[in-house]
Amino acid sequence: MPLCFTRRAAARVRRISIAGFATLSTRMNRKIAKTTTRTTKTTRTKTLRRPKRFLSASPAKAYRGAPCSMASLPEKSLHGGSSLEEGIALFLDYLHKERNYAEHTLNSYRCDLQQFVRFLYPRVEELHLPLRAVQREQVAAFVTDLEEKGLKASSVARKLAALRSLFRYLCREKGLAANPASAVASPLVERSLPRHLPVDQVAEAVEAPSSERFSGVRDRAILEVFYGGGIRLGELVALNLSSLDLDEGVIKVLGKGRRERIAPVGAKAQEALKVYLQRRAEVLLEVDMAQVDVGALFLNGRGKRLSRRTVQRVVERYLSAVSEGDSLSPHLLRHSFATHLLDAGADLVAVKELLGHAILTTTQVYTDVSIERLQAIYAKAHPHGSD
């Protein structure tokens, strides 16, 4: 060390009075005390014990409301949607704008995903759950919790599929490192054949509505369109007057993914629709036109478009009069439509187009229930098939 520097330092020390040194020492001690206090508080915060409800023996209960550990997680940041709630919003927006999912389908996704959020954090509205915090163990615990509550395997599988789709989208589009739901096994779902009604039961149900009341005329037209066109519940509810072309005997249907297709309107359905349209015009003369959904095809007595639930109740009421059991829904008429076509010898590819299926595999399930058709083919083709 240079000699000049040593002498200057020594001279400076000599100029400091004893009182001044005491003052400096006091200030340093206060500073050290404050630092020690902050360190102690920080240490206490880190060593808080976890609430007892997080130490439950049940895997599902252990993760319900438990904070997600951020340790050992990748620091890869997302380009937007840094929380689970924001990620769900982005995913639903993608399904709506780019995949053209129907509102009913979007609501199903929204309910399933929000149920997962509520499982993780019962008070999620007060928290901000990072996407990076969601791990496979929490998804598995969610599935276990659903099964413990007695939910059907098909419903559990649907909710898990929604989570897989969500995180797959976030991995692909938003930079999430891994899909925490991909390694979680789906519950085994028993494959059941589509139920259908015999032709005579369908005819009895379709002809049951009274022609004396507007609601009866409307219900007859609804049943005829369901069975005659094989359309879905959401497709029928969304029908407009502009969708109908009685001269050509067709209806323009907006199906899944907002794909348009042409559904047939048979002779009986055309007749029922003509009667309904006449009564519809008479009813509209008696209501306030300012409150009428003029463009909608099927209306209630006040001129409003029928809701999904109303149409479902209408169909269930008439089907329950001719058949017993569950699943007396509009889809039962769609199953009957497809099965009766195949039983009569219709081409499978043609039935696929009529149903609006994207792939043939979806339609092939109806071939398993066309026993009458198979027996007829066997009786006709096999040497020992008939007497």
At 373 the pLDDT is 63
Residue 245, domain CATH: 1.10.443.10
Whole-number Å distance between alpha carbons of 49 and 72: 20
Q: In sequence order, which residues have a C-beta less than 8 Å from that of residue 10 and are 6 or more positions away?
A: none
How many domains does the chain contain in total?
2
- 97 noted as active-site residue: no
Are both 133 and 207 inside the same structural domain?
no
Distance of CA 203 to the CA centre of its chain: 34
- 34 noted as active-site residue: no
At 217 the pLDDT is 97
DSSP alpha helices (H): ranges in 207-260?
214-229, 233-237
* Cβ neighbours of 291 (radius 10 Å): 9
Are both 340 and 236 inside the same structural domain?
yes
Which residue segment(s) compose the domain that 64 sits in?
54-68+77-174
Are both 120 and 238 inside the same structural domain?
no
Whole-number Å distance between alpha carbons of 215 and 328: 20
- CA 41-46-48 angle, to 5 degrees, is 95
Indicate the SS3 state at residue 359. coil
Whole-number Å distance between alpha carbons of 373 and 371: 5
Q: Which of 256, 261, 304, 308 is catalytic?
A: 256
Task: Give the residue from 119, 141, 174 where a domain finishes.
Answer: 174
- pTM (2 decimals)? 0.64
**Could you say which residues of the chain have pLDDT below 50?**
1-7, 9-59, 61-81, 123-124, 126
280 with 213: CB under 8 angstroms?
no
φ, ψ (nearest 5 deg) of residue 308: -60, -45
- 331 noted as active-site residue: yes
Q: Which of 232, 280, 335, 352 is catalytic?
A: 232
Give the position of tokens 């005491």.
Answer: 22
Are both 115 and 252 inside the same structural domain?
no
Whole-number Å distance between alpha carbons of 281 and 275: 10
Q: Could you tell me which of 160, 144, 141 has the C-alpha nearest to residue 54?
A: 141
Are both 162 and 260 inside the same structural domain?
no
Are both 233 and 360 inside the same structural domain?
yes
- 357 noted as active-site residue: yes
- The counts of H helices and E strands in the chain are 16, 3
Q: Which of 132, 174, 334, 340 is catalytic?
A: 334
Are both 154 and 204 inside the same structural domain?
no
At 372 the pLDDT is 61
CB-count burial class (<10 Å; 0-12, 13-18, 19+) for 38: exposed
Q: Is residue 43 part of a domain?
A: no
Are both 233 and 295 inside the same structural domain?
yes
318 with 211: CB under 8 angstroms?
no
Q: Which of 196, 352, 357, 373 is catalytic?
A: 357
Q: How many residues does the structure list for the chain?
A: 387
Whole-number Å distance between alpha carbons of 306 and 299: 5
Long-range pairs of 322-331 with CB within 8 A, sequence gap ≥ 24:
322/197, 322/201, 322/204, 322/205, 322/208, 323/197, 323/201, 323/205, 325/195, 327/195, 329/233, 330/226, 330/232, 330/233, 330/236, 331/232, 331/233
Whole-number Å distance between alpha carbons of 208 and 190: 35
Whole-number Å distance between alpha carbons of 35 and 107: 53
Q: Which of 121, 227, 276, 366 is catalytic?
A: 366
Q: In sequence order, which residues have a C-beta less than 8 Å from that of residue 236 and are 6 or more positions away?
A: 222, 225, 226, 298, 311, 330
Give the position of tokens 């399930």.
Answer: 365
- The structure tokens listed for 60 are 């599902």
Q: Would you state the torsion angle of the CA atoms of residues 140, 142, 143, 148, taken in this order, to the nearest 10 degrees?
A: 120
Residue 164, domain CATH: 1.10.150.130
- The structure tokens listed for 179 are 């899909």
Are both 114 and 238 inside the same structural domain?
no
Give the position of tokens 């919790």.
Answer: 145
Are both 222 and 328 inside the same structural domain?
yes
CA R_g for the chain: 34
Are both 149 and 265 inside the same structural domain?
no
- 149 noted as active-site residue: no
Indicate the SS3 state at residue 387. coil
Are both 242 and 292 inside the same structural domain?
yes
DSSP state of 261: E
- 104 noted as active-site residue: no
Indicate the SS3 state at residue 10. helix
Give the position of tokens 């007749």.
Answer: 271
Whole-number Å distance between alpha carbons of 370 and 380: 16
